[in-house]
Chain A
Amino acid sequence: MHADAFDRFHEAESRLHRLDPRVKVVVTVLFILSNALLPDGAWAAFGLSWIVLLWANHLSSLGVDFSFRRSFIALPFALAAVSAIFSPLGVPLGDWSIGPLTLIPTDYGLIKFGSIILRSWLSVQAAILLVATTRFPDMIHAFEHLRVPAVLTTIVSFLYRYMFVLTDEVMRLLRARQSRSGSVAGLKSGRSVAWRARVTGNMAGQLFLRSYERSDRIYNAMLARGYTGQLRTLHAHVMQSSDWFFTALSIVIILLLQFTGRI
């Protein structure tokens, strides 16, 4: 029983998959930056950005709506921006009273809120597309080429390595508990919430102990096979002319998006 719930890579043969991972990382970051820099209420630019995303989805041959279908996962976080609706600037649109509290939504606030939601939604989709089309070791490799400090890339690559180990361990612990969670006729099983919470707390402690030891063993095994602090990948990364072309095209498009947002 293995958990691969976290691996978001989708195998496919496409332009986007073949692209140099550095290009993908840089273009994604630029796209996210562009979203952040677009002024509030630049609806046309937001719309164009979405069309660009759809086009990228199409290039990935994962389906035009691939990133859209997966984008809602980040929506709850974007709701943190809900307070923007009640910005004191702008024209009030009425007032809502909740108990002693009076909230006054404004037109400026609403535009700000909508823009924040759109920005985060577009950015999340770009990131989803990036991880779906780039193998994890390739992505780490790209970060290394882009001069991200080795300490950071090592932490991220270990996190990735152990995440699977950890979830497997959790699943085994849960299965063991489930196996012995019995009941007999006539007695209420499961005891109190406090008792169950204590058992769960103990399990978390066990999980820590075991993953700590297991990570030691895995690390030793990695050392034994010559691990020197870098995840290797078989995919040699050499910028092709098509990679340069894609980068140039993306930068032009992003500049155009910015231009559209500011006229």
Chain B
Amino acid sequence: MWPGLSKALKAGLTTAAMTAALVALALGNEHLLRATEVTPGVNWIYLPAGIRMCYVLVLPIQGTVAIFGASLLMASREPTFGWALVVSSACVTAAGPVLSRIVAVQRLGLQPNLENLNFVMLWKLAALFGLFSTTLHQAFYASMGREPAFASMWIGDTLGCLLCLYGLKGLAVIWRQWNQRGSV
């Protein structure tokens, strides 16, 4: 695929596409699930959490860069954020999934190539990713003097993660049915 392009450019394009997908989902979540917003940046359902988890599980380095890039773009829309806060926010967002993956591999026994990943482990990972993301974000928000919303953010990230995974499952089923249509 993409003959003639350098390895670095291909990796960059892949990461850019991942970033764009994440930004699109974050914007979609922001507009479609506005009713579930608790405080700025905190939702009862946050679907991009699922994509972040998938990114970091499959492509840890490119996934982290994509999450960082998407968070930079999203945070830069915040008028009260200076560049330092934008970068800090992106670092916090990207650090959560990475730390979760490390803990999952070292403490939950997740194989790096995911060969022992099953649905029970996926549920645990969703809760773990939500916990790390929420803890880091709430610490960051607390340093800015925002009101705490730990429980709602953790539930939002975990629920969003699970909904996203079930959404992917539904798409996979539809894809399989589409490929097998009209045949018995």
A and B: interacting chains? no
